[in-house]
Each structure stands twice: as structure tokens, then as C-alpha cells.
Amino acid sequence: MSVEVIRAEALSFRYNSALVLENVTFSVSAGQFLGIVGPNGSGKTTLIRLALGLVRASGGKVSIFGAEPPNFRDWRRVGYVPQKATNVNPNFPATVREIVGLGLLSSKPFPKRMSRADDGAVGRALNSMGIGSIADKLIGELSGGQQQRTLIARALVNNPELLILDEPTTALDPDGREGFFALLTELNREKGVTVLMVTHDLGTIGQYASSMLYVDKRLIFWGSFEQFCGSADMGQYFGPFAQHVICHRHDREEGE
């Protein structure tokens, strides 16, 4: 029996009087890789912020590992990469190694100290993102892509069961994106990490994710890419050509 990691029921959110999300229902089981897609301003980022308890729903409810966010305590099970590197203060006097280590220190009781095992975990996270060589550089000295890799490494350092990423590849170059998706695929398929990834890139996510949630203030589609590809409703919504380009399942058939 599959374990539910996230469940949203009739989830709605308003900012002042503006409708951001309305009546969105979906669930994510352990081991899934869910791509969350939709146009700009569709509520994608708000959806994951609701799941993380960063904002409060206007209606409906959401749970993470069976608990509503205010009651969920074991955040070590969750890795989160926010949109871009906007929360990085370029003047913050911390090295890449120290930033990644914060992912471990945040869950430790006082006095917060790094152990030898923690140092090893930080080193592995740095190497997984190809930034071991800049571990001692200050975060403010890095390019946007390097800062984003640092935030991803920080999210991975605890070996989370659930990894939530909000447009994580926007600052990465093509080689960096390819390597990042290879890492995500390994984490998801070989280590069983559940992945939720917000992206605007409909043409790429179908190559990697196992299912898709398309939102545009309301739920447009939720299901596997095979279901999406075979859906007459989605064919009418996107147009048959675009529908099949998004699903990428025909790529596999052509290669067989």
C-alpha cells in the first residue's frame, strides 16, 4: 500500500481580494516525481508554500506526512529549494560549506555543533552538485547558478524523504540542468525520494517526472503523463500537437 506524502483537499487561497488558487485537490504518494506546471501567476509557488505551511489556506486543507503543516515537526524529512536564489544575501559572511551545513544545524538542539559525520554529509552534498571546489568561497562571490547549486546542496544534505523545488534550474546553464535532472532521477528512482518540482518548462518535465499537476488558479489536470497524453480534454485544451510534445511518451516509442 502506497504511503501518502502530501494531500490537498479543496485547497484555496486568496491574497486580499484576489483569487490565487481555488478548490485544488490532489495527493502525492511516496516515491512519485510530480511536476507542477502552469502559466505565470497560476498559483504554482503558492501551492507549495501552502504545503510547507509558509502561508495559511483561505479554504480547504493540506497535510504533509499525515499532519497539517502547523502540527508537522520533523522537517528534517523535507528538503526545500525556493525560487531562484532570491533569499541569498550577497553580503552574508558565510562560505558555501557553511551555507550547506545550515541544512543540518537547523534541526540540531543547542548547542548547535557540526560532527565529523556532518562534515562528511556536507562534502557529499557539495560534490553531488559539483561545487566541492568552491566550498570555501563566500556565498556573495558566486554567480547565480553557483548560488542555486548551493541551495540545492543545502536541501539535499539531510537525505530528505521529500524534496520540493521551485523553478530550481532557471539559473543553471544547459550542462548544469542536464546534470541536475540526472541527480534528481537517481534520487527518485534509486533512493525513493519523493520529488515535487515547480517548473514553467512543459517541454522538459515530461522527460523526467512520473506525473503532472497543471494548475491555472484551478486544477486543469492531475495524473500520469500517459493519462495526459491520452486525454481528449487535454487535447482540446492544449491542442493535439502540443499535448504530445509535452508528454514525451512518443519519444520513447520512436526510440524502440
Residues 11-61 have pLDDT tens digits of: 999 998 899 999 999 999 999 999 999 999 999 999 999 999 999 999 999
- HSE of 99 in the Cβ direction (CA atoms, 13 Å)? 32
Q: Nine-digit cell at 55?
A: 502561508
pLDDT of residue 254 exceeding 60, the answer is no
Question: For residue 181, what are the CA distances in angstroms to 173, 176, 189, 212?
Answer: 12, 9, 12, 16
173 contacts 153 by C-beta, under 8 angstroms:
no
CB 177: neighbour CB atoms within 10 A?
Answer: 17
- At residue 256, the pLDDT reads 47
- At residue 251, the pLDDT reads 58
Tell me the Cα Rg of the chain.
Answer: 19
CB 57: neighbour CB atoms within 10 A?
Answer: 22
Predicted confidence (pLDDT) per residue in 147-194, tens digit = 888 988 999 999 999 999 999 888 778 887 888 888 889 899 998 999
CATH superfamily of 4-89+162-255: P-loop containing nucleotide triphosphate hydrolases (3.40.50.300)
The helix/strand/coil state of 14 is strand
For residue 188, which of 200, 197, 177 has the smallest C-alpha distance?
A: 197
pTM for the full model? 0.89
CA distance 168 to 151: 9
The helix/strand/coil state of 188 is helix
Predicted confidence (pLDDT) per residue in 93-109, tens digit = 899 999 999 888 876 76
